[in-house]
Amino acid sequence: MALQSSKRARDYGLRFGVLPTGPLNMITDVPGVRVGQVTLNEEYHIHTGVTAILPHDGNQFQEKSPAAIYIGNGFGKLVGYTQIEELGTLETPIILTNTLSVPTAADALIDHTLTQPGNEKVRSVNPLVGETNDGFLNDICGRHISKEHVLNAIHQATTGYVEEGNVGAGTGTVCFGFKGGIGTSSRKLPPSLGEFTLGVLVQTNFEGVLRVAGLPVGIELGSYSFKENLDGSCMIIVIIDAPLDARNLKRLAKRAFMGLAQTGGIGSNGSGDYATAVSTAYRISHESSSLFDEVKLLRNDNVSPLFMAAMEATEEAIINSLFAGQTLTGYERHEVHQLPVDKVVELLKKLT
């Protein structure tokens, strides 16, 4: 297996938008956010995994997070959508995995919730599980993900550095005909705009005509999906520490797809494209003696910079997933090559 450079897109001088990043340029720049990943690479045919995203370190069921989901294209198996759409709250960690492991992951999330102290009387749980189909490189029908893998991803979740590329839920994914995977990025707004931090994590497994920093890299490389097929999916997780309610979180999630479009993705007929947006600025108690929730929310007039941040961070996270991807030979000896980063950098110099 050829090893990809540890450099990220920004390390080559590439810039995506105008807003500054957080210290790590990762979703974990949002205070309290944790990510855990379990990766399965067994023999030649099993290449899959689990990525867990935890908005805070408390009991997620008892201290729910405001959340919303926007569907770019609904050819997917996202579990948990309707309750979030109805109530605007997230009550479990977010799990990403492969398509046929969604039921297993949901079952594990229920186990996780029911066994947490304070949840002894819980009788209903809304697990949130997203997916993309890694069946080209992974023996997806073997359903090799177990509940233990999911629970381990949750228990291993930490703040700080997030591994990208062929890891977790991105182990066996393909993007723009190259090896895709997990990617992440962040934006930090200046004090005049609220000093909020927004982070994005993506699981890339979709097609289109690749653009990098606005330039037609896919065309220059002679590699684009109209030559073969257009199917695939992308899961986008947006987390922000600004006080937004579900309505404005859905508006924020919509803007993430502008970032996807910037990379050349088109939201094809067979694509499951979902953006989940979560705020960590406040929590909603499962039980309360009060008749009211009293929350100070950011005004509509002040959310535009957050929209830009979501677009920029999503674009960069997708490109980071490609820069981190490694050539992989998988199920039925299918091989997907990594993005030729050095060639891409040279092309970008020529095009600019």
Instruction: Please report whether residue 293 resides in a domain.
Output: no
Choose the catalytic residue: 101, 271, 279, 321. 271
Structure tokens at 209: 């005509």
Cβ neighbours around 139 below 10 Å, total: 20
Measured CA to CA, the distance from residue 229 to residue 159 in angstroms comes to 38
Amino acid at 298: L
Instruction: Please report whether residue 93 resides in a domain.
Output: yes
Residue of 167, 37, 150 lying closest to 92 (CA atoms): 150
Instruction: Please report whether residue 2 resides in a domain.
Output: no
Binning pLDDT at 50, 70 and 90, where does residue 226 land?
Answer: low
Choose the catalytic residue: 186, 223, 225, 233. 233
- On the question of pLDDT at 320 being above 50, the answer is yes
Continuous segment of H or E residues that includes residue 215: none
Higher pLDDT, 188 or 231: 188
Measured CA to CA, the distance from residue 22 to residue 4 in angstroms comes to 24
For residue 130, the model assigns a pLDDT of: 98
Instruction: Please report whether residue 294 resides in a domain.
Output: no
For residue 4, the model assigns a pLDDT of: 46
Instruction: Please report whether residue 288 resides in a domain.
Output: no
The predicted model gives 212-227 an average pLDDT of 84
The DSSP output letter for 208 is B
Beta bridge partners of 185: 200
Domain that holds residue 314: 9-282+299-351
pTM of the model: 0.97
CATH number at residue 201: 3.60.70.12
Instruction: Please report whether residue 312 resides in a domain.
Output: yes
The predicted model gives 15-30 an average pLDDT of 97
Note if 271 is an active site residue. Answer: yes
For residue 3, the model assigns a pLDDT of: 45
Choose the catalytic residue: 29, 134, 139, 273. 273
Instruction: Please report whether residue 51 resides in a domain.
Output: yes
Measured CA to CA, the distance from residue 277 to residue 38 in angstroms comes to 23
Note if 241 is an active site residue. Answer: no
Binning pLDDT at 50, 70 and 90, where does residue 6 land?
Answer: confident
Answer whether 204's CB lies under 8 Å from 316's CB.
no
Instruction: Please report whether residue 167 resides in a domain.
Output: yes
The predicted model gives 19-38 an average pLDDT of 98
Domain count, the chain: 1
Binning pLDDT at 50, 70 and 90, where does residue 1 land?
Answer: very low
Measured CA to CA, the distance from residue 112 to residue 106 in angstroms comes to 10
Binning pLDDT at 50, 70 and 90, where does residue 2 land?
Answer: very low
Note if 233 is an active site residue. Answer: yes
